[in-house]
């Protein structure tokens, strides 16, 4: 039974990621290196970075809420960083738990949230967006 759940869970994450890439305009889910990452977080305005892992239950649970919220916040850039694919970025940003959300305003980190508490993430976006 647990093998079946693991396989189904992986398939759901995979399908979600494909849907995610196709449907969102202001969410960026791509493979990047450290230089490209730095160019994204230093953009003018508010940039929200979601450091996640595909195996992380809370990451997968909050993802649909973030997707919906990002559709409403057209002036905020949302970026997802898979910590297993980009461990050097996770290390450089001192990410130790998933999900971790960091908020960059005009290139400077202004807030960090650890955990999948959507209300706190939403409040941080609304408090820091220009």
56 is annotated as an active-site residue: yes
Residue 93, pLDDT above cutoff 70: yes
Domain ranges in the chain are 2-128
Within 8 A by CB and 6+ apart from 88, the residues are: 34
pTM comes to 0.77
For 71-80, write each residue's pLDDT tens digit: 889 889 888 8
Q: Which residue has the higher pLDDT, 15 or 47?
A: 47
Of 41, 46, 49, 56, which one is the catalytic site residue?
A: 56
Sheet holding 100-105, edge to edge: 27-28, 77-82, 46-52, 100-105, 108-114
Return the pLDDT at 31.
56
Mean pLDDT within 36-65:
92
Q: For residue 23, what pLDDT is reported?
A: 35
Mean pLDDT, residues 87-110 taken together: 96
Kindly give, in sequence order, each residue whose CB lies less than 8 Å from that of residue 10, ignoring residues fewer than 6 positions away.
54
pLDDT of residue 85: 87
Q: Which of 47, 48, 49, 59 is catalytic?
A: 59
pLDDT reading at 17 higher than 50? no
Does residue 77 contact residue 47 with C-beta atoms inside 8 Å?
yes
Q: Is 59 a catalytic residue?
A: yes
Classify 2-128 by CATH class: alpha beta
């Amino acid at each position: 039974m647990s093998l079946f759940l693991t396989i189904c869970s992986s398939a759901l994450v995979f399908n979600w990621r494909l849907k995610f890439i196709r449907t969102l305009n202001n969410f960026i889910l791509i493979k990047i290196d450290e230089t490209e990452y730095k160019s994204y977080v230093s953009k003018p305005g508010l940039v929200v970075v979601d450091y996640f892992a595909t195996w992380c239950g809370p990451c997968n649970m909050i993802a649909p809420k973030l997707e919906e919220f990002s559709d409403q916040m057209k002036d905020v850039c949302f970026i997802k960083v898979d910590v297993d694919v980009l461990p050097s970025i996770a290390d450089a940003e001192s990410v130790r738990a998933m999900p971790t959300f960091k908020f960059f305003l005009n290139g400077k980190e202004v807030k960090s949230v650890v955990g999948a508490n959507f209300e706190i993430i939403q409040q941080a976006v609304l408090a820091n967006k220009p």
